[in-house]
């Protein structure tokens, strides 16, 4: 690589003032490289004014290609990025038939993703937030094509025509603001190019799956305007057999499309416009009765004798044909102007991102998870957001004549959102019959010893009744922020990072909980009729500081400190007026890392030690029909993450690994909600115990063999195994032992046949090849006493895909 000489010069007074302001704060946006189709590092640019053209040097004879990225708003070797990041390339996603966001955790360690169609939950480093309660915002920020997204519900809708997925671990508050306390996941879709090209990929799988994805790139005006249109149709059969309804739960169909325009009127301007639509319908839910009490199981079996309480046998007996219909849209405009050099500043660029996004969800499902028609739930939510960000960045030769180069970024951000939801509990025609049974007496807290057996002798009584508990919730949110960051080169090897963000937010919420009919549902769940209006005003300061030392051209170390902030809010599913609000949480994160190239560039080895202390950790405990909310006093996340890629001396073998070991524990949580198994206790002390969804160890390993096909020199064969392991973890905030799943290994694999021209490919792939049955989620049963509901991980899938590029 040819290095330009450093020009040392003093800043003009105006430039010095600008850099002094930049020193107060600045965003860091970093990313690493992902495994490319041939096992080498793929080039990963950072979208700023627009995704930059990657610069990749040729690999050495036995080494990996050197990748130059714009990970901190400048072109640099990815090994110089002082941040723990995992990235999945488009090739890896396509070859492994990983078409939903849940597969990210199979390739990036220390990530947990549940892609529930109505409320996805995302966690990093054991830190996540249950978003079934829409009053809670996520702990992990979502970015789609440089547009900040305020809710995780968009995650399942855009996984097509993907260029890469980036996972930024740890608090990212300086650049991304609130609700990035655990990290950020950035979805980058493919940009238009100035040529006529395209691709199509057809996939069939067992269990039944049909998927068609296509994209067309059109040069509308040569060198000036290019467009790209892409879309997907996806239909998939679910894993869980519903013997009562004779259908597979979690079966779904999805139609989605995206259009993008890239306008480049001259060398200085770059204008990118995009729009996305998605419609998804799901047979919901794929829940199973689990560890039911004897009376509850006996009652359920009277309606369907095949009912059992094994939570991982892919069988359920729900009588209600539940569904989730989700519709989402997204519009984004990005304008970049390259202002060049002026007032002592160099390479100044102005970027503006304007966006709108929204979704609506209509769902109805069986909350009692049985063939009896006891209780159903209706959940509707509508969400809209608008945002604008203005972000100048550039460089200077020094800071007030001191030291060397300064890279700086400033920004202004404004965000507005409106959310309206209803979570309604509706009585079924068998509710009265259930109440007059041993299981019903247990649920009402009435001893069933003598009276229960007598009531169980009565014939079933099906009486349709109009009895509902309606929970209405509406929220408006307005937030603003100013931010900035600079990286200042003190010496040839030592640099310092300084960043700062100040944010302000105002929220208002309206509650309207009412009972319709006799009030039986409200009595069972202990709900009151009430109306309330609440307001919140919050301010946050998210600084960042650090040092970076380049020991050799191939070895860099860094140490950083970052503050993160997650806004407080409102309990959208409150049954009484006593549990309506929760406080904001704050996190202080320290990281110490190394990034290195070893053995003549044939291996990259990156490792990060981290520790995050969280104050007022927000907690949500699923109580079946509603949620208990609160704040744990203190929690600590700490551990180590390792990312490595090795190109063996034999060019046909490469190995990609991502490993993490650590703990996520409550330092102090004396008033935690008691577990159902604790009987009549209302609270418990979880101090010193683990957080939910926080395995101590998680890791992925992918050995990849690439070789010419026998008897031909123009055809290639690629064989890859994808091994993913996570140790034992709880899925319930109250750490009920029923929600604990022991550690398990998932085995996947890929076989790819393709010509050297990459014009086409045939892919054979499989996930969970050993057909491992394991718990993914467990929560208290909404109706049956001392019983649970479980959701299992996806079972084995075998797929064949045909891809054609032109």
Nearest 5°: the CA angle 36, 42, 47 is 130
pLDDT at residue 379 tops 70: yes
Cα 761 to Cα 202: distance, rounded to the nearest angstrom: 11
Which helix (H) or strand (E) segment is 717 a member of?
strand 715-726
35-39, 407-411, 508-512: which has the minimum mean pLDDT? 35-39
- Contact 575/141 with Cβ under 8 angstroms? no
31-35, 688-692, 737-741, 782-786: which has the minimum mean pLDDT? 31-35
Quick one: pLDDT at residue 462? Answer: 87
- Percent of the chain whose pLDDT exceeds 90: 64
Give the 3-state DSSP-derived string for 45-94, with helices as H, strands as E and coil as C.
Answer: CCECCCECCCEECCCCCCCCCCEEECCCCCCEEHHHCCCCEEEEEHHHHH
Which helix (H) or strand (E) segment is 412 a member of?
strand 406-427
**Beta-bridge partners for 204:** 210, 800
Mean pLDDT of the chain: 87
**Beta-bridge partners for 150:** none
Cα 408 to Cα 345: distance, rounded to the nearest angstrom: 10
Q: How confident is the model at residue 457 (pLDDT cuts 50, 70, 90)?
A: confident
pLDDT at residue 33 tops 90: no
- Contact 580/532 with Cβ under 8 angstroms? yes
Which tokens sit at 146? 């440089």
Q: Is 435 helix (H, G, I), strand (E, B) or coil?
A: helix
Cα 387 to Cα 354: distance, rounded to the nearest angstrom: 6
pLDDT at residue 27 tops 70: no
Calculate mean pLDDT across residues 546-568: 93
Cα 134 to Cα 137: distance, rounded to the nearest angstrom: 7
Calculate mean pLDDT across residues 484-500: 94
Q: How confident is the model at residue 66 (pLDDT cuts 50, 70, 90)?
A: low
Calculate mean pLDDT across residues 473-502: 95
What count of Cα atoms within 13 Å lies in the side-chain half-sphere of residue 28? 34
What is the per-residue pLDDT across 115-142, written as a single tens digit (0 to 9) for each? Answer: 899 888 899 999 888 777 888 888 999 9
Q: Which CATH class is domain 13-428+465-805?
A: mainly beta
Cα 513 to Cα 530: distance, rounded to the nearest angstrom: 5
Q: What is the domain partition of the chain in residue ranges?
A: 13-428+465-805
Q: How confident is the model at residue 459 (pLDDT cuts 50, 70, 90)?
A: confident
Quick one: pLDDT at residue 523? Answer: 80
- Contact 702/655 with Cβ under 8 angstroms? yes
Calculate mean pLDDT across residues 746-772: 94
Q: Alpha carbon of 137 to those of 128, 142, 205, 500, 614: distances in Å?
A: 10, 11, 35, 22, 16
pLDDT at residue 658 tops 80: yes
Quick one: pLDDT at residue 42? Answer: 35
How many Cβ atoms are within 10 Å of 464's Cβ, its own excluded? 12
pLDDT at residue 789 tops 50: yes
Quick one: pLDDT at residue 16? Answer: 35
Burial profile 626-643: b = 16 or more Cβ within 10 angstroms, e = fewer = bbbbbbbeebbbbbbbbb
Calculate mean pLDDT across residues 155-166: 89
Q: Is 701 helix (H, G, I), strand (E, B) or coil?
A: strand
Quick one: pLDDT at residue 61? Answer: 53
Calculate mean pLDDT across residues 380-387: 97
Tell me the backbone φ, ψ of residue 286, rounded to 5 degrees.
-95, 45
What is the per-residue pLDDT across 429-448, written as a single tens digit (0 to 9) for each? Answer: 999 999 899 999 998 888 88
Cα 215 to Cα 156: distance, rounded to the nearest angstrom: 19
Tell me the backbone φ, ψ of residue 717, rounded to 5 degrees.
-125, 130
């Amino acid at each position: 690589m040819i290095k330009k000489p450093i020009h040392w010069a003093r800043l003009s007074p105006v430039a010095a003032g600008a850099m002094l302001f930049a020193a107060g704060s600045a965003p860091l946006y970093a990313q690493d490289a992902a495994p490319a189709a041939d096992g080498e590092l793929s080039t990963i640019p950072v979208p700023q004014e627009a995704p930059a053209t990657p610069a990749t040097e040729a690999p050495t004879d036995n080494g990996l290609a050197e990748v130059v990225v714009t990970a901190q708003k400048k072109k640099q070797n990815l090994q110089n990025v002082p941040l723990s990041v995992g990235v999945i390339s488009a090739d890896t996603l396509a070859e492994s038939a990983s078409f939903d966001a849940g597969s990210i955790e199979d390739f990036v360690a220390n990530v947990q993703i549940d892609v529930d169609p109505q409320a996805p939950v995302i966690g990093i480093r054991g830190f996540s937030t249950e978003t079934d309660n829409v009053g809670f915002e996520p702990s992990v920020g979502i970015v789609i094509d440089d547009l900040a997204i305020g809710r995780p519900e968009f995650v399942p809708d855009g996984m097509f025509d993907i260029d890469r997925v980036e996972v930024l671990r740890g608090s990212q508050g300086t650049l991304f603001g609130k609700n990035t306390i655990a990290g950020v996941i950035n979805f980058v879709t493919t940009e238009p190019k100035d040529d006529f090209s395209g691709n199509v990929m057809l996939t069939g799988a067992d269990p039944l799956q049909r998927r068609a994805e296509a994209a067309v790139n059109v040069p509308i005006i040569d060198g000036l305007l290019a467009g790209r249109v892409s879309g997907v149709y996806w239909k998939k059969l679910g894993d869980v057999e519903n013997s009562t309804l004779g259908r597979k739960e979690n079966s779904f169909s999805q139609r989605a499309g995206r259009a993008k325009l890239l306008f480049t009127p001259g060398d200085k301007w770059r204008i990118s416009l995009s729009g996305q639509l998605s419609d998804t319908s799901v047979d919901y839910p794929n829940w199973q009765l689990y560890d039911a009490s004897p009376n509850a199981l006996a009652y359920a079996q009277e309606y369907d004798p095949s009912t059992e309480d094994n939570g991982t046998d892919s069988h359920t007996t729900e009588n209600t044909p539940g569904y989730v219909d989700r519709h989402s849209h997204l519009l984004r405009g990005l304008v970049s102007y390259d202002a060049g050099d002026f007032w002592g500043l160099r390479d100044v660029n102005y970027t503006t991102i304007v966006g709108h996004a929204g979704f609506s969800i209509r769902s109805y499902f069986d909350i009692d998870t049985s063939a009896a028609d006891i209780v159903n739930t209706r959940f509707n939510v509508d969400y809209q957001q608008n945002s604008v960000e203005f972000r100048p960045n550039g460089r200077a030769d020094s800071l007030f004549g001191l030291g060397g180069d300064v890279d700086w970024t400033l920004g202004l951000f404004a965000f507005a959102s409106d959310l309206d939801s209803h979570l309604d509990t509706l009585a079924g025609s068998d509710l009265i019959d259930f109440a007059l049974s041993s299981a019903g007496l247990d649920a009402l807290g009435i001893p069933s010893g003598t009276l229960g057996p007598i009531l169980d002798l009565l014939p079933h009584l099906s009486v349709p009744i109009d009895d509902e508990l309606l929970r209405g919730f509406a929220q408006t949110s307005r937030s603003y922020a100013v931010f900035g960051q600079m990286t200042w080169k003190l010496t040839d090897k030592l640099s310092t990072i300084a960043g700062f963000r100040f944010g302000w937010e105002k929220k208002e919420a309206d509650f309207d909980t009412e009972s319709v009919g006799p009030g039986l549902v409200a009595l069972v769940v202990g709900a009151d009729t009430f109306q309330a209006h609440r307001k919140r005003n919050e301010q946050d300061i998210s600084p960042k500081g650090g040092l970076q030392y380049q020991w050799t051209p191939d070895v860099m170390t860094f140490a950083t400190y970052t503050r993160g902030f997650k806004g407080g809010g409102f309990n959208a599913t409150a049954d009484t007026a006593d549990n309506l609000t929760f406080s904001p949480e704050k996190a202080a994160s320290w990281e110490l890392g190394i990034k290195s190239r070893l053995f003549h560039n044939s291996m990259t080895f990156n490792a990060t030690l981290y520790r995050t202390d969280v104050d007022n950790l927000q907690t949500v405990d699923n109580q079946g029909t509603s949620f208990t909310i609160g704040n744990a006093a203190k929690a600590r996340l700490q551990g180590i993450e390792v990312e490595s890629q090795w190109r063996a001396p034999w060019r046909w073998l490469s190995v990609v690994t991502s490993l993490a070991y650590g703990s996520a524990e409550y330092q102090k949580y004396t008033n935690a909600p008691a577990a159902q198994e604790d009987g009549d206790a209302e609270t418990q002390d979880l101090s010193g115990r683990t957080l939910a969804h926080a395995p101590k160890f998680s890791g992925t390993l992918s050995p990849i063999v690439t070789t010419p096909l026998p008897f031909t020199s123009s055809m290639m064969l690629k064989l890859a195994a994808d091994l993913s392991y996570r140790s034992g973890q709880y899925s319930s905030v109250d750490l009920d032992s029923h929600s604990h799943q022991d550690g398990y290994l998932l085995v996947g694999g890929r076989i790819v046949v393709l010509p050297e021209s990459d014009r086409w490919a045939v892919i054979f792939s499989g996930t969970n090849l050993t057909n491992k049955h394991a718990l993914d989620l467990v929560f208290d049963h909404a109706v049956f006493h001392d019983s649970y509901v479980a959701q299992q991980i996806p079972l084995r899938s075998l797929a064949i895909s045909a891809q054609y590029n032109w």
